[in-house]
Structure 1
Amino acid sequence: MRKLRPLVISGPSGAGKSTLLNLLFKKYESCFAFSVSHTTRGPRPGEEDGKHYYFTNREEFNGLIEKDEFLEHAEFAGNLYGTSKRSVDSITSSGKICVLDVDLAGVKSIYNSQLDAKFVFVRPPSLENLKQRLIDRKTETEETISKRLARALADMEFADSAAGKNIYDLIVINDKLEDALQQLETYLADDINQVRN
């Protein structure tokens, strides 16, 4: 039996990654598991250590970096976040497909690591469509939407570049959710069948 390759999924905020992954997890509930990241930020209400994140302090996190324990790590809003090799190995050893939902910097770090993963980029059909999705959320300020759109443009330009095409195994244009899910299912069919059998 071949070893299951983790699934690294990325794409702009609002492209539909979470929706696609939720549908995939619901349809194939015993096949997938999210890698649990480490963070130095405090837990939000309802979050549990070891389930949503591994909550740690900056000193311990930096110690893990020094020991080369992370596939990727970054700092956002003054807090450190990272994906540990151990977390990914634990899921793949359990016979499930490990899913990592990361940003572009994380994609590049994981691609340059020793992890043999599958890389999928989920994109909206257009920037205009993405802008409308972000507006429809009613959770974003105009400034936040502008920042997200600028980042989305950079992410999509990278995915379309020679370097991006070298990394990403599949680019899903999430125009119609059912079609996007079908693309993802088709791409992962062999892995899903291996887990189920």
Structure 2
Amino acid sequence: MTRPSLHHLFFIIIGPSGSGKTKVAEAVFPKEYKVISHTTRPKRTGEQEGTDYYFETQQHFQQLIESKALAEYDTYNEQKYGVGIDELLRKTTEHYAYDVLTFQGFQAIEALFKPMVIPIFLDVSKENVIARLQERGELPEIIKERSALYDQEIQNKEKIIRYSPHFIIDANQPFEHVVNTLKQIIDISIK
């Protein structure tokens, strides 16, 4: 059985928690270009099924795993998250697509769909991560937890360098500069 392939590029935004991944991605990519992930976490106020996530029961998520319907999946804060293969194929049929994922998520998808998967790492200092989390009004225990994760997450920058192509953006720069840099990367990559 031949594995299906992506028709257009899939950009994966990676970086430490608090690096601005989601905010930057939403400022650059059209909303309809986002690959919608599956999750078992409860729906938050204002979130919509099929727009923010596909909200799944633990049982249905397990069925997705067992049927090999997910390109990647992981557990974060005791909730499961995963990218469906069908969603990924559908979103890249007519144009490029994107998602904000972990390095492990990138590795799993890249193994299935290389060379059509491009990692973009947002490199940011620990001090800036803590400052941004404080600006967002995060609770002290959340800031402490994310700060502890930083050392582990920043190591992914060295791992991404092994993949070609890859891009690393200095996310310590002002937001508009980071957004413009990402736009330039997309333009270069799709030409």
TM over 0.5: yes
Report the alpha carbon displacement of residue 9 of structure 1 after superposing the two structures with TM: 0.6
Report the alpha carbon displacement of residue 156 of structure 1 after superposing the two structures with TM: 1.4
1:112 counterpart SS class: helix
RMSD: 2.2
CA 1:67 to 1:15, structure 2 compared with 1: closer, same or farther past 3 Å?
same
1 CA distance for matches of 2:160 and 2:175?
23
- Choose from 136, 142, 145 the match for 1:144: 142
Q: Percent identity?
A: 25
Q: What pairs with 1:1-197 in structure 2 (closer than 5 Å)? A: 3-25=7-29, 29=30, 33-93=33-93, 95-115=94-114, 116-124=116-124, 126-138=125-137, 140-159=138-157, 161=158, 163-167=159-163, 169-174=166-171, 175-190=173-188
Q: Could you tell which deviates more after superposition, 174-183 or 5-14?
A: 174-183
Specify the code of the residue in structure 2 equivalent to 1:5.
L
Confirm or deny: 8 A CA contact 1:97 1:191 kept in the other structure: no
Aligned residues: 183
2:18 counterpart SS class: coil
CA 1:169 to 1:128, structure 2 compared with 1: closer, same or farther past 3 Å?
same
Unaligned 5+ segments in structure 1 are none
Show structure 1 runs of 4+ deviating over 3 A: none
Report the alpha carbon displacement of residue 3 of structure 1 after superposing the two structures with TM: 3.3
1 CA distance for matches of 2:127 and 2:52?
32
Instruction: Give the alignment's TM-score, normalised by structure 2.
Output: 0.84
For residues 13-68 of structure 1, what are the alpha-carbon distances to aligned partners after superposition, in whole Å with 9 as ceiling and x for unaligned? 2212122112213xxx48x6111111223322322222221122222211211121
Report the alpha carbon displacement of residue 73 of structure 1 after superposing the two structures with TM: 0.6
Specify the code of the residue in structure 1 equivalent to 2:58.
R
Instruction: Give the alignment's TM-score, normalised by structure 1.
Output: 0.82
